[in-house]
Amino acid sequence: MKNTQRCYSLLLLFLSSKDALAFSTRTKGSLYKVTPQTQLSTTTSSSSSSSSSSSSSYSRVRHRSSSTSKSTTSLHAIPISSSLRDHFTNFVSSPDQPRPAWARDWMPTWLVTLRPTTQLATVVSLYVLHLTVLTQGFVPFPFQLIPNERGHFQGIGLDSLAGMATLVVYQYFRRQPTPSNKAKKSPSEEPSPSNATTSPSQSMSQLPSLLSKPRIKDSPWKNMYQSKYSRFTSFLALCALVQAYFWTGRLSIWWEDTFYVLANYFPITVAMHRALCVLFGHLSWIVMGGSILRLIPRPQSFFDKTWYSQNFKENQWVWWTIGGYFVSSWFFNIADFLNQWILPTPILEQAQESVVSQLINPEFNDRAASIVGYIAPCITAPWWEEVLYRGFLLPALVLQMKYKWAVIWSGIIFSVHHMSPTGFIPLAFLGWTWSILYAKSGNLLTTILVHAMWNSRVFLGSWLGL
């Protein structure tokens, strides 16, 4: 009986050490790695101890085998958690993408190499947070900073604080050197004249200055400089677009009459009639304007992406989009405050209800008409206006004047196009902000998403009762 117990004990110890060795082979570099020397010593010591304690009971051997199996089970939990972490990293990020130059050492790789779908989900999540929380709260001041009868300077909104924090964080990262620039130079290396003229984006953190003119090789419209005829054809296209905009007004009247006729055969409400007229009138403007941009700009065709850059797979647009939206909200609050101080109160009170307001709040709470009315301002208009004003107008003006004046005039023309006297200043601020955002991010997708979220917040705020 004693010999049987001794053989059973040796068999259990052999199996446990074999499992541990197999586990160490699968998880190389693990903290619990078992070497053959360790296995041999363990077996030898266990054999000697079993020989000396041959009178041990069967329950003691069983307790030893159960504890060994528990330790083996706890060791196997490590690769399982590591595997889950690897699956999460591969799901949200693209491991094959290189780390951007502005990324810091403490940033995990998955955070700066997100997949496009993950970036879009991140943008939507932070947009909902901004819409439901930041725009609804504010921090009150202990007293009114500047006494006035309009109730200003009594607090600051959380959305304005988020915009301020975004600019502070951007400037902090821009002024911090990148990990590659932290490396010390060799004693034999001496500064050359070419190194002395290094741009701030190269010498600091690869993040551009927001107010400086972008270099030609970094600008999203660099390909339009390949021909001397670009200046003439862009000016000709601009004149044609102005004329086409007024022709589109006549088409809108035709669409309005057409839907009046269709109302005799189909049940079309007043709110739905208005929404359809706005949608088809805007689609007509897109078709006519897009045809002009396709035919006139030469020798480079506009939609061959020689004038603008739009990339959905770039791994940086998520942060430009979120930061641009937060800063746009803060600048709009400043512009709206200036607008209320500059314009007389009677003008603000006598301002007529815009068409967008009628689309948001249709007669008899017609939800179908409100959804159809959402398409033009929040889906088609953001894409077309960004292609028109940031993709074409801004580089076309850069060909005619300096960059800073091109930004100023593009924002003014963008505001005039909306034909809203009471909203001229806020819309001009948005035009300037989005022009700078596009010039520095180099991706038209950022301003398209910011524009779409900006227009959507009015509809969503009404639908959600915010």
Residue type, 225: Y
Question: Does some domain include residue 186?
Answer: no
Question: Does some domain include residue 156?
Answer: yes
Tell me what the mean pLDDT of segment 141-146 comes to: 85
Tell me what the mean pLDDT of segment 287-301 comes to: 88
Residue 453: both structure tokens together: 């979220």
Residue 459: both structure tokens together: 């509809």
Domain end marker among 57, 92, 127: 92
- 168 and 78 inside one domain: no
- 78 and 128 inside one domain: no
Least confident of 3-7, 274-278, 462-466: 3-7
- 222 and 305 inside one domain: yes
Question: Does some domain include residue 406?
Answer: yes
- 83 and 124 inside one domain: no
Whether 301 contacts 141, CB under 8 Å? no
Question: Does some domain include residue 73?
Answer: yes
Residue 290 has pLDDT above 90, yes or no: yes
Question: Does some domain include residue 244?
Answer: yes
Residue 247 has pLDDT above 50, yes or no: yes
Tell me what the mean pLDDT of segment 252-267 comes to: 91
Residue 197 has pLDDT above 60, yes or no: no
Least confident of 4-8, 362-366, 435-439: 4-8
- 320 and 453 inside one domain: yes
Domain end marker among 92, 126, 156: 92
The range of the structural domain enclosing residue 369 comes to 117-180+199-464
Residue 59 has pLDDT above 60, yes or no: no
Banded pLDDT at 7 (limits 50, 70, 90): low
Least confident of 41-55, 230-244, 359-373, 384-398: 41-55
Predicted confidence at residue 188, as pLDDT, reads: 43
- 127 and 221 inside one domain: yes
- 298 and 168 inside one domain: yes
pTM of the model: 0.77
Predicted confidence at residue 198, as pLDDT, reads: 38
Banded pLDDT at 277 (limits 50, 70, 90): very high
B/e letters for 269-296, b = 16+ CB within 10 Å, e = fewer, are: eebbbbbbbbbbbbbbbbebbeebbeeb
Burial class of residue 154 (count of CB atoms within 10 Å of its CB; 0-12, 13-18, 19+): middle
As a whole number of angstroms, the distance between CA 319 and CA 254 comes to: 43
The per-residue pLDDT of the chain, averaged, comes to 78
Q: How many domains does the chain have?
A: 2
Predicted confidence at residue 354, as pLDDT, reads: 74
Most confidently modeled of 3-12, 67-76, 143-152? 143-152
Question: Does some domain include residue 191?
Answer: no
Tell me what the mean pLDDT of segment 208-225 comes to: 80
Residues β-bridged to residue 156: 139
Question: Does some domain include residue 98?
Answer: no
Banded pLDDT at 38 (limits 50, 70, 90): very low
- 377 and 284 inside one domain: yes
DSSP annotation of 379 reads I
- 47 and 142 inside one domain: no
- 170 and 83 inside one domain: no
- 82 and 158 inside one domain: no
- 70 and 172 inside one domain: no
